[in-house]
Amino acid sequence: MHLFRFLTRFVLPFLPLASLALAAAPKPNFLLIVADDLCWRDLGFTGNPDVRTPHLDRLRTEGMQLHGMFTPATTCSPSRHALYTGLHCVRAGAYPNHTRAYEGTRSIFTHLNTLGYRTGLQGKEHIAPKASFPYEHLGGKNADDFAATKSFLTRDAAQPWLLVFASNDPHSPWNRGPAGLHDPAKLTVPPYLHDNATTRRLLADYYGEVHKLDWQVGQLLALLAETKQADNTLVIFLSEQGGSMPYAGKWSVYDNGIRVAALARWPGKIAPSSSSRALLQYTDIPATFLAAAGADPTKIDTGCPDTRGHRGFDGRSFLDVLTGKTDRLHEVVFAQHTTVGINGYKAPYPIRAARDARYKYIRNLAPQNTYDIGGIHQTEPLTSWKADAKNNPALAARIDWLYHRPAEELYDLQADDLETKNLAADPAHAATKARLSAALDAWMAQQGDQGMATEMKALERQGPSDNETRAAKQSKKKAKQ
Ligand SMILES: [Ca+2]
C-alpha cells in the first residue's frame, strides 16, 4: 500500500492531537552561554568603545537584547544555582559563594532530561550536589574543546538537547586573552574606575579576555550553522555577574554587579534587532526553557519548598517577552549578597536589594562592620588607588565606600545610573523607600531569609555535599598540617 494512504487510513486517526502537534513542531534545542565576571557594560553592543566583540554584536542584531535581566546574587556559585534551579538563593540553600543546594533540589537538567532531552554542560561547574544537576560534563576542564561540543550536538538528530556553555572568561587573573590586543594608553577608562596606569594595564588584559569569550561564542554559533541546527535552537547569552575591579560590580548589589547583558536568538520566533525592558531574573530561565519545550512550568516540582510550602519555581516564563507579546514580567527584582565564606572575608557584611524599573533600595544588615574580602579589597588595582588617594580626598572617600556603607541606600537609576547619590534619607523619596522596603521584607519571608542569622549559617552551606562541607574540609586540612 502507498505509504501516505496507509498513514491516513490506519495510523493518523489513532494518534492523539498533541502528538501530531509535536511531530509537526520538534522540540527546540537550547544553547545557554554564560560568561564569568563580565560587567554588562563591557561589550561592543552595550556601548563599550574599546572591547572587541564582533560575534556577540552580530548575535545582538540577530535577536533580542534583554535590558532588564538581573542575577539575584553577587558571586559565581549562587548565581549559577539560581540560573539552573529557578530558585532564589536562600530558599535553595545556595547563597554563599562555593555553595550547594539542599539535597533533593532539581534543576533545568533534571526537568529537561525528563522531557527526553540530552543535557550537557561545558566549562565551569561550581554547583552541587551532583544529583541535582544531572548533565554530561563536556570537554573536562577545557571549555575550548569544540570537538567535544560538536560530538554532543550531533550525537542523535532525533533527540533535542540543552547545552550550557559556561566559560571561565573573563574571570581574573586575565592571562588567557590575546596579549597586546589593546593599548592601555588609548583606552577610555569608565567613570566608576580610578584612572591610573595599573587600572589601564588590568583593563587591557580584561578586555583581551572578553575578546577570547567572544571567540568562543563565534565557535559555538559556527557549529550551530554547520550542523544546520541554528533555526531550531534558542540561544541565550548572559554576562553572569559584574567585573572584579572595585565598582565594576562583583560582590555588590549595584547595577554593575547584578544587572546582566542578555541576548536571545531564535530565528522565526524572536524578531531580529529587537529589545525588551521587561524586568527578568536568572530564576526565570528554567521556566522559559520548559515553556519553549511545550511543558507547563507552573506544574514543576522543584524539590525544594518555600516557607509557604510552594514547591514551584521562584521564576516565571518570559517566552511571551521573547516573542514580543508583552514587555512586562516582574514589577520588582531582588538580590542578596553573603560575605561569610568568600575567600579572604573578615567580618559578615550581608546585603539585600529590591529594584524596580526606576529605583533601587539596598539594606546593609551589618553597617557597623567593615566590609573586607580578598577580591576587591586586597589586590590590584586597589593598592595603587590607595597610593593615589593620599593626595586625592574624593578618591579616598570613594575607596572608603568600599568598606563602609549606611544601613539603607536608595537610588534613582534614571537620574543616577552609577548609584552615587544616596536618597535614603530624602523625605521626597520616603514613599518609594517604604514600598521597596516592604517588597524586600515579603521576599525575605517567602525565602526563609533571616538576615544576619542566615549569614552566620553560610559556612554550613558550602562544599560538595552535606557530608563534606567546605568548612569541615578546611579544618581537616588544617589538622593535617
Ligand atoms: Ca563569576
CA of 324 to the centre of ligand 1 (A): 30
> Is residue 82 within 8 Å of 94, Cβ to Cβ?
yes
CA–centroid distance, residue 435 to ligand 1 (Å)? 31
Rounded distance between C-alpha atoms, residue 289 and residue 317, angstroms? 8
Predicted confidence at residue 480, as pLDDT, reads: 67
Averaged confidence pLDDT in the chain? 93
Residues present in the chain in total: 481
Whole-number Å distance between alpha carbons of 337 and 349: 8
The pLDDT tens digits for 51-90 are: 999 999 999 999 999 999 999 999 999 999 999 999 999 9
User: How many domains, the chain?
Assistant: 1
Using the mean position of ligand 1's atoms as its centre, give its distance from the Cα of residue 147 in Å.
25
3-state secondary structure of 281: strand
Is residue 337 one of the residues assigned to a domain? yes
CA angle 86–37–272, rounded 5-degree value: 65
Which residue in 33, 31, 35 sits closest to 239, CA to CA?
35
Is 225 within 8 Å of 218 (Cβ atoms)?
A: no
Q: At what angle do helices 285-292 and 76-85 cross, to 10 degrees?
A: 30
pLDDT digits (tens, 9 = 90+) for 24-54: 578 999 999 999 999 999 999 999 999 999 9
Instruction: Record the cell numbers describing residue 245, joined without a space.
Output: 575591579
Q: Which domain CATH number covers 241?
A: 3.40.720.10
Mean pLDDT of 308-328: 98
Q: How far apart are CA 136 and CA 437, in angstroms?
A: 42
Which residues are in the CB-under-5-Å shell of ion ligand 1? 36-37, 76, 240
For residue 463, name the pLDDT band (cuts at 50, 70, 90).
Answer: confident
Element of type H or E holding 433: helix 430-447
- Give the three-state DSSP class for 361: strand
Average pLDDT over residues 91-120: 97
**How far away, in angstroms, is 275 Cα from ligand 1 center?**
25
- pLDDT-based confidence at 20, cuts 50/70/90? very low
Q: Does residue 351 sit within a domain? A: yes
Residue 343 alpha carbon to ligand 1 centre in Å: 13
CA of 318 to the centre of ligand 1 (A): 24
Are the CB atoms for 362 and 352 separated by under 8 Å? yes
Dihedral pair phi/psi, residue 373, rounded to 5°: -130, 175
Separation of CA 39 and ligand 1 centre (Å): 10
Please check whether residue 289 lies inside any domain of the structure.
Answer: yes
User: Is 17 part of any domain?
Assistant: no
Q: Answer whether residue 361 shows pLDDT above 80.
A: yes
- pTM to 2 decimal places: 0.93
How far does the centroid of ligand 1 lie from the alpha carbon of residue 34, in Å?
9
Flag whether pLDDT at 250 surpasses 60: yes
Q: What pLDDT was estimated at residue 110?
A: 98
- DSSP of 179-235, one letter per residue? TTSS-GGG----TTS--SHHHHHHHHHHHHHHHHHHHHHHHHHHHHHHTT-GGGEEE
Q: Which amino acid is at 344?
A: G
253 lies in some domain? yes
Q: How many CB atoms lie within 10 A of CB 350?
A: 24
- Asked whether residue 404 is assigned to any structural domain, the reply reads yes
Flag whether 392 is in a domain.
yes
**pLDDT (tens digit per residue) in 140-188:** 767 899 999 999 999 999 999 999 999 999 999 999 999 899 999 999 9
Using the predicted structure, report yes or no on whether residue 22 has a pLDDT greater than 70: no
Q: Is 157 within a domain?
A: yes
168 Cα–ligand 1 center, Å: 8
Which is nearest to 266 in space by CA: 224, 217, 298, 297? 224
Ligand 1 centroid from CA 138, angstroms: 20
3-state secondary structure of 6: helix
The per-residue pLDDT for 179 is 87
For residue 183, the enclosing domain spans 26-461
* 88, 138, 149, 269, 319 from 278: Cα distances, Å: 19, 33, 32, 18, 12
Query: Which residue is it, cell 507579546?
Result: 325
117 has a pLDDT exceeding 60: yes
